[in-house]
Structures are given as C-alpha cells and as structure tokens.
Amino acid sequence: MEEEPQSTGNRENKQDQNGQDAAKPTGSMPPSEGSTIPQKRPAEGEPDITGMSKSALKRLRKQQKWEAGKEERKQKRKESRINRKVRKREEKAALIAQGIDPDANKQQKPPSVSVPISLVFDCDFEQYMRDKELISLGSQITRSYSENKNAKYRTHIYVSNWNGKLAQRFHEILDDKHKNWKGIDFVDGDFVACAEEAREKMKDEGNHMIEALQHDKNPWVRDEKDPLPLPDPEPEPRPEYSDIVYLSSDSPYTLDRLEPNTSYIIGGLVDKNREKGLCYKRARERGIRTARLPIGQYMVMQSRMVLATNHVVEIMLKWLEYENWGDAFLSVIPKRKGGQLREQASEAEQAEGAEIKELEEESEEIEDPDVEEPSSEKNTPEEAAP
C-alpha cells in the first residue's frame, strides 16, 4: 500500500503556528483588510457588537443579564407578596385569638383633596441623556406619582412627549404598570398641549379651592441678579399662555406662591447640570413665563441646589399643605445636601461669633509666663548702677 504524500496545506499550517509565514494584520491596517479571516456576523436576534467600545459592550452585557433575570425577579416579587399576605393574616388571627380587635388602633387616613393645580413633566430631552439617566428619570416620575397620590392635597399630573425611549421602557420592561395609575396622564404631545388639556380638567367641580390658593395674584418682580444672562432681550409672555409657568433654576423670577388654575412645567432632564439653561431657553422661545423655587431665600445649602424632579413635586405638594416654603423645603430636601433654614443658620453664626469673642476675651486675661511683669516701683540709682 502506497503512502499518501504529506499535503502542502499541513506544512503551511505548521508554519502559521510557528509564526514564520502567517499573514497577520498590521497595526496600521484594519482587520477586515489585513486578515483573510471573515468578520463574524451576529446571529439572528443578536445585537451587532462590531465597533463597540469595551465600556459599551460591558453595558450591553449587563443589560442582557438584567433582562434574562426578569422572570425570576417577577416570581420572587410574587412570592414576597404572598408571604406578606400570609404573615398579616397570621398576625390578625393571633390578635383575634387574644380578644383584641385588629382594626381598633388603625388610623383612618383622610381622603386626598384634588386642587386646581397641574404639574407637567416635559420629557422632550431624551437626546441629552444617557440610558442610565433615562432610567433615573423614570424612577423619579414613579415617585412623583406616588407622592401626589398620597398627598393631603392632590394635583393633576401630566407627562408630555410620551413617545420615545422612556415610554418604551415603561411599556416593555415595566409591563405597562403605569396604565393602571390614577390621576396622571401620559400624552404624546408637548408640554403646551398638556397644559391646554389640564386647563379644562382644572375647571372641574371636583377641584377644591383650598385656603393656600385663595389669595390675590402678586405682580411678578424680576430679581436684581440674573442667574443666566442672555444677550437677546426677554420677549413678552404670550397672553394665551398666561396660565403656564415653566420652572427653571435659571429664571430671573422667583416663585412667591402657587396660583390656582395654573400648570407648572417641570423639565424632565437628568444630566448632572451638563446642559445649562435648556429649560429656560425653551420657555423663552415659546413665550411662556418662567420662575424658580425660592430655595436661596429660605435655605442655606452645603451642596448645589439642583433638585430631582420628584423633589420639586414633593416641595410643591408640601407648600399646598403648609403654605410656607421654608417648612416645605426642610421636609423634602435630603439631609445629605446639608440644607438648613436661613434664619437658623444666622442664629448659629451669631452664637458662633459670640463664642469666639468670649474665647478671645478669656485669652487676653491669661498671663504669658514668658513675659516679665513690670515692677510698679522705680529703680533707685544704686540699683540701676552696674
């Protein structure tokens, strides 16, 4: 039997393994041109990762892992709810066995009162936000809804521009739970369209004109210092939008009190203050009044005064309850921001100043041991002579 001669292909493979004759892509040549190895194409349904950076690929893998565990998390939440109900039933049965009425000490919460105020989230800033920031905005909207639902005085809430990534997230990942929410409307149109819709809803007889809203409107006075000076003059507000106020920390006007039958626009923007003046400029272009919350007038902050959207909502809800900005800020602003009422800070500064002055006076009374005390008697000539 003849031996089969060794193929040249095997010899070439050996040379390739030794790194002698293998064709390798150079550093200056793209892999698709410098290599005969075909590019791997993504399988059907798989995302194309060609050209992705390491950080982007890492985020993608993390997202895929999170989505893969969706059903497991859903099952755990269901089990947790069941266990909670079982535990409550057992606790109730134990109280009844002891002859105690389980509902005796329950405090009945008074029903929330609807007021003619609308809060509108302007969610037309997706192009300025990263995916993580969009997720954060979704959480803030959820918290805002919850706070408004449980508040003593309840406003009408609208979410505008509900047609982008945020809406897709609520639909696909959060299983459309927002469709069961009451007292909040998700609208495809912009914030002006929401305000026009809210205008009709605030006329409903079900709204109550509470005491905090029963005041004459004060004239708006421009602040002495402009937070964001712009070269072009500010246009006059359009009369048809007189019941719309866009809240912005860059506004030269400070909000004194909330006005009834008014829609307050809150910019749905989470960007760590990268984009300066976006909300303010947008409102100016549309001929809409702007205002900022009076944080600087009432609070002394140890960190920047930029608040999350849900904190803005909570502050306005607390103002409706307290009719006092200081109390509203103090009850909402996180302690980590080091917020303190301005009057309390002034008292603390005065007390600190008095303490420093007292210490200075005490230090003056302490004798320095290295300094010789001067004699009250004059030296005689004999003592003065050497």
Q: Which residues are catalytic?
A: 271
What does the pLDDT average to over 108-120? 91
Q: Which amino acid is it at 105?
A: N
Instruction: Look up the pTM and report it.
Output: 0.71
Are the beta carbons of 80 and 154 closer than 8 angstroms? Answer: no
Q: For residue 110, give every residue at least 6 positions away whose Cβ sits within 8 Å of its Cβ, in sequence order, or none.
A: 152
C-alpha span between 322 and 335 (Å, rounded): 20
What does the pLDDT average to over 149-169? 96
- Tell me the pLDDT band of 360, cut-offs 50, 70 and 90: low
Q: What is the DSSP letter of 121?
A: E
Give domain 113-296's CATH architecture.
3-Layer(aba) Sandwich (3.40)
- Tell me the pLDDT band of 233, cut-offs 50, 70 and 90: confident
Q: Which amino acid is it at 220?
A: W
Query: Could you tell me how far CA 339 lies from the centroid of its own chain?
Result: 17
Spell out a b/e string for 45-62, using b for 16 or more CB atoms within 10 Å of the CB, else e.
eeeeeeeeeeeeeeeeee
| 94 or 359, which is more confident | 94
- Tell me the pLDDT band of 300, cut-offs 50, 70 and 90: confident
The tokens for 185 are 């409307």
Locate the domains of the chain by residue range. 113-296
What does the pLDDT average to over 100-119? 85
